[in-house]
Amino acid sequence: MARNRKREDPQINSSSMADIAFLLLIFFLVTTTIANDRGLFIPLPPDPETMEDVDIKIPERNLFKIQINSADRLLVEGEPLEDVSAIKPMIKEFVLNYGADPESSDSPEEAIVSLKTDRGTTQARFIEVLDEIQGAYYDIYADRAGVTNQGWRKIIDNLNDPENRRLYDVGRGMTPEGKPEFPMNISIAEPTKIGG
């Protein structure tokens, strides 16, 4: 005697699928690290509204002028320059002059490197020149601290370590008041308009 019964299809209970998906989402959010681009470390100028009108006269000899035109050509101290890597030794000589050359800076504290571009200057060229400027200062700091340029970069990446902090203070020539004797004085002027 054959029974005539309807066969039921097995079903999967999906009531907890939403819970599982939610837990997986939380897991991946917690365990995933998102790359954080560091970008350029350039201090922004203060808000013009909060600045006082102070007429500061900087002696011409304390300014090291670099200009980049809209065709990415360099003019350094009024002379055309083809090789960007030649900027670094020129800046080091300028900053470390200590008044010896009357055409150069009075002291590292008063030396200012001025970078001016046109609106047509490419970002790649701007960053290339800015890297050379900062590299010159890093070379100065590294020499004073007795490390390589790469060693200096490792020091500034971990200033929580007491030894790194000590070497940083030596490199920058920190005074008891906490003011660096060798500040990184870089002035980035507002770009000029092309043909304007």
Residue 55 lies in a domain: no
Domain of residue 128, CATH code: 3.30.420
Please, what's the largest Cα pairwise distance for the chain? 119
Q: Which residues pair with 192 in a beta bridge?
A: 118
Residue 81 lies in a domain: yes
Is residue 152 scored above 70 in pLDDT?
A: yes
- What does the DSSP 8-state code read for residue 189? P
Determine the number of helices (DSSP H) and then strands (DSSP E) in the chain: 5, 5
pTM equals 0.70
Range of the domain at 138: 62-144+182-188
Residue 161 lies in a domain: no
Segment 27-82, tens digit of pLDDT: 988 888 877 666 666 666 666 666 666 667 888 888 899 999 989 999 999 899 99
Residue 136 lies in a domain: yes
Structurally, the chain folds into a number of domains equal to 1
pLDDT for res 93: 92
Q: Please report how the helices 123-145 and 87-95 are oriented relative to each other, as an axis angle in degrees rounded to 10.
A: 50
pLDDT for res 192: 74
Residue 117 lies in a domain: yes
